[in-house]
Amino acid sequence: MRLTRLELSGFKSFAKKSDFDFSAPITAIVGPNGSGKSNVAEAFRFVLGEQSIKSLRGKKGEDLIYTGENGRLNRAAVRVEFDNRDRTLALDFDAVVLERAVYRDGTNEYFINGSRVRLKDVTELLARAHIGASGHHIISQGEADRVLAASPRERRAMIEDALGLRIFHYKIRESEKKLAKTEENKQQVEALRRENKPHLSFLERQVAKLKKALSLREELEVRYAEYLKREERYLEAEAEAIAAAREEPERRARELSRRIAHLRAALEKQEEDDAARAEVLALEKELREVREERERLNRTLGSLEGQIAFEKRRIADEARRAQDAAHATVPMGAVETLVREADESLAALEQEEDISRARRIAAHIRGLLEKFLRTHRAARPAAPDHKPLRRLEHEYAKAERALEKVKARAAQLEARSRAAQEAMVRAHEEGRTQERELFALMQEHNEVQLTLSSLEARAAQLARDREAFKRELAEAVALLGRGAARYREVSLEDAAGEAVPLEELLAEERTAQEKRRKELERMKIRLEELGGANADEIMREYEEVKERDAFLERELKDLEASAASLRSLIEDLDRELEEKFLQGIEKISEAFHTFFTLMFGGGKASLKVVREKRRTPRTGVEEEEAMPGEDEEESELAEVGVEVAVSLPRKRVKGLMMLSGGERALTSIALIFAMSRVNPPPFLILDETDAALDEANSRRYGDMLEELAKESQLIVITHNRETMSRAGVLYGITMAADGVSRVLSVKFEEGAQFAK
């Protein structure tokens, strides 16, 4: 990259448009004091983006705009043009023109190749090409010493700048800003997530409950459908069963009623005509009388028999006694025996109640007495009387005939009575059969009624079950929606997934269904406890909040990832910076020594990296020059700085403090040149850096300029003849009485008149 042109218009003393062409390796700008030479150097700083007006020798932007006796301008502008064929500037143009303008109100405008850009764009573009506004390559008047006067830390910054390491700081700072922003974002995202968290967990719990409720509801739907279907089947089947079961008993009951009524009527009629009984009774009465007569006759016959026997014995005795005719004495013993036997019989007689036996006992006693008499009475000689016997026998015969008659009558009556009784029994028996039948029928009727009333109870239960079914269905629809009414569509399956046959369905115990209903109740209660209101809303909100949380989580991961990559980028940059810095320092130190010995004809010069502890935390003022990437904690550790060590030839004193003004200037120049040598800037502007040099040193300085010009374009503002002699082009700056600077190309001889 080469500097080709500089154009000033309205900048400081350059009221009119003035331009400089930099075609030679060394361009010298010469002119009397106060003509505006330094303004040219400042024009470079200005156009390259300098923000410190103070370093441009002004108080405010306005001071940079021409103000003279003839009037004042509103705008100051500087343009600088580069040959960019080597693309040092990261723009795809062979020529790059930068322009900056400032207005009286202090506003600034920046342009790159005519396009309006931001300051940042300019700064970035230049930083990448290792040039900048306050860079090491513009050494203002009296500033040569700065590199020596600076603190080790400031020196380090200058050297870094010269080594083109500013870009690292720039990148590190950018990365740190990004990192800080990332951390801030991360905290914000974390805060948002934390904020979200309780709501999300609340919703998660709600959703879990909802899901539970939903699955419970689904199960309830299935169970309800099964229950309702089974119940309806049962109700239908039960109704049919009751109707069927009723048919036979009802028919039977009707028939029984009819038959019972019939039998009752028949039995009532039977009771009315009971003539048979009367006949039987009459016959019985008559028969009783006939039998009594027969008894009487029998007794009469018995008595007659006794009398006849007695008469016969008397007759026989009388006949025997008549034959014996003698009286016999009676022994006492015989009398006592008679008395005892008679007494015994009499005692028996006294006890006897049966008249016929009593009579027989009486007859016996008489017999005893007759026997005693017959035994002991002397036979009577008179002939026995037969008349009583004949009378008795006549009576007997008469009684016998009467008995025969009575017997016949009794036999007749008995036969009739038997017949009448049999007739009556027969009639009774028929009645009893009917009664038994009636009884049996009534019993059966009762049983049938019992069956019917139990069927009645079943029917009543069925009616209640029907009501309950209706209520259950209504409740199911209210709870689960109209779908619950489509329970008929479901197919009932057993555990194996087989359809349950109807018979099995109906054969089931009623308690099973009751168990199902209770389970439904339990499920309903549980469902109610879980609640299911606003389900859609909750789900939607949950999805939203979850999605937001997931988004934030992703965001957080992204932020963490970018923070990590930023940290490692910063580490890498730090490491690279450190490496390049140390390598650069070594090279500069070598070059410094070379230039130094060249200038002083011997001696020693070197740079040393030192690490010093900071005592106080960095302040805002120091911020600009502080090593980026450091913060207060790190600054406690070590601060890298660069110290300069010199020892002059033939002199014992060492250290910068001991140097004379000229020696100091030479040392500064040696260091500046060393820095430029190691990392040659595209151009180097030296504003009266050679002011303090004597003739011999001016020559050495001139030699070094030529050496440096091989790598960098040099613009020297000088009063030094020797320096002028080394320049390819000389520009003279003049200022007339009007206070306006003018530029003109001059020859060496013309320029030399401004030399001191």
Residue 57 CB, shortest distance to ligand ATP, in Å, is: 7
Q: Which residues pair with 732 in a beta bridge?
A: 30, 744
| Nearer residue to ligand ATP within complex by CB, 141 or 513 | 141
Residue 189 CB, shortest distance to ligand ATP, in Å, is: 52
Exposure letters 8-20 (e unless 16+ CB within 10 A, then b)? bbbbbbbbeebeb
340 phi and psi angles, rounded to 5 deg: -60, -45
301 phi and psi angles, rounded to 5 deg: -60, -40
Residue 145 CB, shortest distance to ligand ATP, in Å, is: 16
Residue 78 CB, shortest distance to ligand ATP, in Å, is: 13
| Nearer residue to ligand ATP within complex by CB, 31 or 681 | 31
Residue 32 CB, shortest distance to ligand ATP, in Å, is: 7
Q: Please say whether the beta carbons of 111 and 118 come within 8 A.
A: no
| Nearer residue to ligand ATP within complex by CB, 58 or 367 | 58
Q: Tell me, what amino acid is at 13? A: S
Q: Which residue from 702, 729, 716 is spatially nearest to 23, judged by alpha carbons?
A: 729
| Nearer residue to ligand ATP within complex by CB, 387 or 756 | 756
| Nearer residue to ligand ATP within complex by CB, 141 or 449 | 141
Strand (E) or helix (H) holding 8? strand 2-9
| Nearer residue to ligand ATP within complex by CB, 448 or 740 | 740
Residue 162 CB, shortest distance to ligand ATP, in Å, is: 24
95 phi and psi angles, rounded to 5 deg: -125, 135
> Among positive and negative, which fits the CA dihedral 574, 579, 582, 584?
negative
Residue 45 CB, shortest distance to ligand ATP, in Å, is: 13
Residues 6+ apart with CB under 8 A from 734: 31, 32, 35, 741, 742, 744
Residue 141 CB, shortest distance to ligand ATP, in Å, is: 6
Alpha helices in 273-386 (DSSP H): 275-324, 332-351, 355-376
Residue 109 CB, shortest distance to ligand ATP, in Å, is: 18
| Alpha carbons within 13 A on the beta-carbon side of 363 | 16
Residue 39 CB, shortest distance to ligand ATP, in Å, is: 4
Residue 67 CB, shortest distance to ligand ATP, in Å, is: 4
Q: Which residue from 682, 750, 756, 729 is spatially nearest to 81, judged by alpha carbons?
A: 682
| Nearer residue to ligand ATP within complex by CB, 34 or 649 | 34
Q: Please say whether the beta carbons of 731 and 717 come within 8 A.
A: no
Residue with smallest beta-carbon separation from ligand ATP: 33
Residue 735 CB, shortest distance to ligand ATP, in Å, is: 7
| Nearer residue to ligand ATP within complex by CB, 60 or 575 | 60
Q: What 3 state SS string does 57-106 have?
A: CCCCHHHHECEECCEECCEEEEEEEEECCCCCCCCCCCEEEEEEEEECCC
| Nearer residue to ligand ATP within complex by CB, 33 or 107 | 33
Taking the mean position of all CA atoms in its chain, how far away is CA 18? 80
C-alpha dihedral (46, 49, 51, 54), degrees to nearest 10: -20
| Nearer residue to ligand ATP within complex by CB, 302 or 739 | 739
| Nearer residue to ligand ATP within complex by CB, 65 or 125 | 65
| Nearer residue to ligand ATP within complex by CB, 345 or 741 | 741
Residues 6+ apart with CB under 8 A from 140: 38, 41, 42, 45, 55, 687
Q: What 3 state SS string does 707-738 have?
A: HHHCCCEEEEECCCHHHHHHCCEEEEEEECCC
User: How is 158-211 classified by DSSP, letter by letter?
Assistant: HHHHHTT-HHHHHHHHHHHHHHHHHHHHHHHHHHHHHHHHHHHHHHHHHHHHHH
Residue 103 CB, shortest distance to ligand ATP, in Å, is: 14
User: What is the binding site for ligand ATP (CB under 6 A)?
Assistant: 12-13, 31, 33-39, 63, 65-68, 141, 739
Alpha helices in 481-509 (DSSP H): 502-507
Q: Which residue from 605, 600, 606, 598 is spatially nearest to 703, judged by alpha carbons?
A: 598
| Nearer residue to ligand ATP within complex by CB, 542 or 754 | 754
